[in-house]
């Protein structure tokens, strides 16, 4: 029913576009995500959603704050969601009371948080021996397509990299929408999202697997996530004999890939490229390298270390944005942000703000031993290149071992820990 409703919404939009001479390519064969893949239920707290959203924001370059300030933007939603009797999440009274323009921002960003949580959960079940990393699509596209297709605004929102040390990664495209309206609006948004995932092909034409999400945050009732997916044999980053997969410890480089998606040839005719982005075999090794390094940059940015983050990004990705400002204590900052949470030492960055006249502290960071691999120093205290290969091997070996508790009594507040060793924690500060 969901897929057919979205198809009808897409057909209606296509008719309007046809009258204007505006034709739009959409991803075909989108189907509802089966419960066998997503699971019968997904247990989420508001802190899990904020954690996913915050990490997605860390390299976004969308906020008024720049560089290391980006991910704190997620905290504006710390009172927007309420759990109901342990059965579902809904908008709180504060979440319902936002102004019109802010509602659009709220539905989009909270929709991203829920979408990424569902995508990671689904892929984790589908590939239990792998790790799932979420990477902002714009950050990667910027490194390979300096100008992009002229006048073309469509692209996925995120890449999910499913990886295991020593094996080729697999990439899934993700497009996410959100609204405060209802099912009809979700169908329209999912139809729009189908054009965003179609705007990028990784490998063979029309074989890139993807997810599209539409999240409803109604004024009354539970938050609802509509999910469609498409399978495909593409998205596997194998590299070639001429362009083999790279050691991830090496510095990432910008590429200058011609915009356009090349359809398969029909006979002797060479087809004209379609608008969009295409990762052909000659660029798979580069793409996997940049994906992994960008995901690593997202971890160190979330931990508050700008200098370390810069080494994992190319110049076009904005490495220079992270070389000014404060880094956390373990890398020379005057501020000390080191805590033991759930019995594990973490290093990171903290932030104090007010909620309804109460002072609240938030901490975001990464397990200290993992951070040392990403920001190592020699015997003289000088920074040395990060050990991404060793970091990934360690993260992979630790999967499934992180605590699943959502409250730390000693810290005095809620916590969320991810499989990559990152943590988001909040607590009230006593006067």
Residue 202 pLDDT: 97
Q: Give the tens place of pLDDT for each residue, 287-343.
A: 999 999 999 999 999 998 888 999 999 999 988 888 765 444 433 332 358 999 999
Residue 335 pLDDT: 33
Structure tokens at 332: 């020379």
Q: Are 284 and 161 a contacting pair, CB within 8 Å?
A: no
Ramachandran category for residue 248: left, alpha or beta (phi over 0 → left; psi -120 to 50 → alpha):
alpha
Residue 333 pLDDT: 32
From residue 41, alpha-carbon distances to 37, 44, 87 in Å are 11, 9, 10
Nearest to 293 by CA among 143, 120, 158: 143
The neighbour count for residue 211, using CB atoms within 10 Å, is: 26
Checking if the pLDDT of 345 tops 70, the result is yes
Nearest to 127 by CA among 33, 248, 37: 37
Residue 327 pLDDT: 47
What gap in Å lies between CA 302 and CA 99, rounded to an integer? 29
Span 217-224, average pLDDT: 93
Q: Give the tens place of pLDDT for each residue, 76-93.
A: 999 999 988 778 899 998
Checking if the pLDDT of 99 tops 70, the result is no
Per domain, the residue ranges of the chain are 2-22+29-303, 321-428
Residue 210 pLDDT: 98
Of residues 44 and 286, more confidently modeled: 286
Nearest to 357 by CA among 414, 426, 409, 429: 429
- Which residue in the block uniquely carries the two structure tokens 């090794």? 285
């Amino acid at each position: 029913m969901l897929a057919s409703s979205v198809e009808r919404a897409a057909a209606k939009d296509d008719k309007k576009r046809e009258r204007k001479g505006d034709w739009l390519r959409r991803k075909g064969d989108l189907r509802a995500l089966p419960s066998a893949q997503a699971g019968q239920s997904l247990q989420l707290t508001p802190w899990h959603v904020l954690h996913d959203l915050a990490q997605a924001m860390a390299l976004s370059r969308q906020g008024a704050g720049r560089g290391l300030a980006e991910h704190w933007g997620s905290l504006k939603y710390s009172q927007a969601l309420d759990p109901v009797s342990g059965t579902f999440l809904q908008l709180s009274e504060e979440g319902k009371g936002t102004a019109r323009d802010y509602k659009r921002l709220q539905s989009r960003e909270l929709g991203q948080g829920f979408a990424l949580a569902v995508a990671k959960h689904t892929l984790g079940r589908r590939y239990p021996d792998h790790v799932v990393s979420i990477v902002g699509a714009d950050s990667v596209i910027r490194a390979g397509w300096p100008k992009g297709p002229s006048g073309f605004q469509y692209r996925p929102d995120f890449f999910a990299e499913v990886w295991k040390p020593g094996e080729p990664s697999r990439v899934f495209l993700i497009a996410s929408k959100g609204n405060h309206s209802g099912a009809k609006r979700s169908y329209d948004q999912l139809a729009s999202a189908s054009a965003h995932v179609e705007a990028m092909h990784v490998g063979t034409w029309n074989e890139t697997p993807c997810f599209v999400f539409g999240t409803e945050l109604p004024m009354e009732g539970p938050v609802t996530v509509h999910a469609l997916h498409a399978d495909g044999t593409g998205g596997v980053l194998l590299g070639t004999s001429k362009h083999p997969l790279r050691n991830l410890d090496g510095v990432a480089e910008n590429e200058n890939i011609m915009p356009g998606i090349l359809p398969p040839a029909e006979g002797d005719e060479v087809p004209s490229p379609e608008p969009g982005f295409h990762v052909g075999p000659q660029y798979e090794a580069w793409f996997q390298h940049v994906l992994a390094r960008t995901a690593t940059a997202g971890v160190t940015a979330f931990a508050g270390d700008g200098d370390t983050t810069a080494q994992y990004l190319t110049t076009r990705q904005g490495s220079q944005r992270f070389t000014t400002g404060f880094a956390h204590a373990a890398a020379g900052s005057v501020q000390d942000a080191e805590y033991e949470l759930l019995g594990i030492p973490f290093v990171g960055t903290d932030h104090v703000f007010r909620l309804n006249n109460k002072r609240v502290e938030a901490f975001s960071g990464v397990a200290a031993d993992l951070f040392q691999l990403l920001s190592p120093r020699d015997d003289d205290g000088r920074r040395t290149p990060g050990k991404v290969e060793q970091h990934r091997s360690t993260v992979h070996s630790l999967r499934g071992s992180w605590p699943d508790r959502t409250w730390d009594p000693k810290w005095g507040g809620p916590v969320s820990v991810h499989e990559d060793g990152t943590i988001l924690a909040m607590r009230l500060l006593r006067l």
